[in-house]
Amino acid sequence: MRRATFFVLLAVCQAQDNPFASDPKAAETARPMFRILCAPCHGLTAEGGKGPDLTLGTYNAGDQDRDLYRAIARGVTGSEMQAYAGRLDDKAIWRLVSYIRSVGHKETNPITGDVANGERLFWGKGACGQCHKAGVRGNSIGPDLSLVGRQRSLAYLRASLVTPDADITPGYTTVIVIKPDGTKVVGVERSFDNFSAQLVDLSGRYYSFIREDVTSMKREFRSLMPSYAGTFNDAELNDILVYLTSLRGAK
């Protein structure tokens, strides 16, 4: 009985070891694959974009090879990271793991800041909770930030605070509707199609319009969020970034 258990465990361990761990070419063969599948979110150099920076040597999904394998194969709950097991075979996934390992080199904590002060700024001076949720607090006009520390890289979050128009989270564009009486309704997209628009204005009021009933409706790929470049000084920006990266849901 004990022997059987031992064999099962051994088999599991073997299945979770990277067969290319000692093959220096594996990482290089996966580079083109990384550019096709991963670069759209993690960046051409893996330094992150919309998705996390993969060069830090530490990862949201866990730091072992098997954790990276699992993240690629099954996706990451609570993020936009999809499951690739249906599209990539075992070997291809392990080669990607090798590639990601080969680009990991940076310090694990590139900025220092005061989390507690960041949290105070978020709810106070920044008034971020007017539009965003973090945990149970805040509003649902902009994207929910409860897991944003898992979902976004530090550089992306900094860019979002300073130049909010740089990249718009899908489904959060700005919608502008002109009604027949000339009044204008501006809000955050909830849905937008060829015949109708649904939006929420900054007071949280929900609207639904049919195209024929209004003078015009359009969607703009910009954010209704203001830039915080002039609101926060450098130290405050770091504090709020450290706070945002700490938002990872329950451990």
Which positions lie near another protein, rule CB under 8 A? 29, 31-33, 35-36, 39-40, 44, 87, 89, 92, 168, 170, 191-195, 219, 221
Give the nearest distance from C-beta 194 to another protein in angstroms.
Answer: 6
Give the nearest distance from C-beta 220 to another protein in angstroms.
Answer: 9
Give the nearest distance from C-beta 108 to another protein in angstroms.
Answer: 29
> Please, which residue, 89 or 213, has the CB nearer to another protein?
89
Give the nearest distance from C-beta 196 to another protein in angstroms.
Answer: 9
Helical pair 115-123 and 234-245, crossing angle rounded to 10 deg = 100
Give the nearest distance from C-beta 125 to another protein in angstroms.
Answer: 31
Give the nearest distance from C-beta 10 to another protein in angstroms.
Answer: 24
Give the nearest distance from C-beta 247 to another protein in angstroms.
Answer: 24
> Please, which residue, 7 or 221, has the CB nearer to another protein?
221
Token pair for residue 23? 């093959």
Cα 235 to its chain centre, rounded Å, is 23
Phi-psi region of 233 (alpha: psi -120 to 50; beta: other; left: phi over 0): beta
> Please, which residue, 59 or 192, has the CB nearer to another protein?
192
Cα 171 to its chain centre, rounded Å, is 14
> Please, which residue, 36 or 250, has the CB nearer to another protein?
36
> Please, which residue, 30 or 128, has the CB nearer to another protein?
30
> Please, which residue, 61 or 95, has the CB nearer to another protein?
95
> Please, which residue, 170 or 249, has the CB nearer to another protein?
170
Q: How far apart are CA 183 and CA 201, in angstroms?
A: 14
3-state SS of the chain is CHHHHHHHHHHHHHHCCCCCCCCHHHHHHHHHHHHHHHHHHHCCCCCCCCCCCCCCCCCCCCCCHHHHHHHHHHCCCCCCCCCCCCCCCHHHHHHHHHHHHHHCCCCCCCCCCCHHHHHHHHHCCCCHHHCCEECCEECCCCCCCCCHHHHCCHHHHHHHHHCCCCCCCCCCCEEEEECCCCCEEEEEEEEECCCEEEEECCCCCEEEEEHHHCCEEEEECCCCCCCCCCCCCHHHHHHHHHHHHCCCCCC
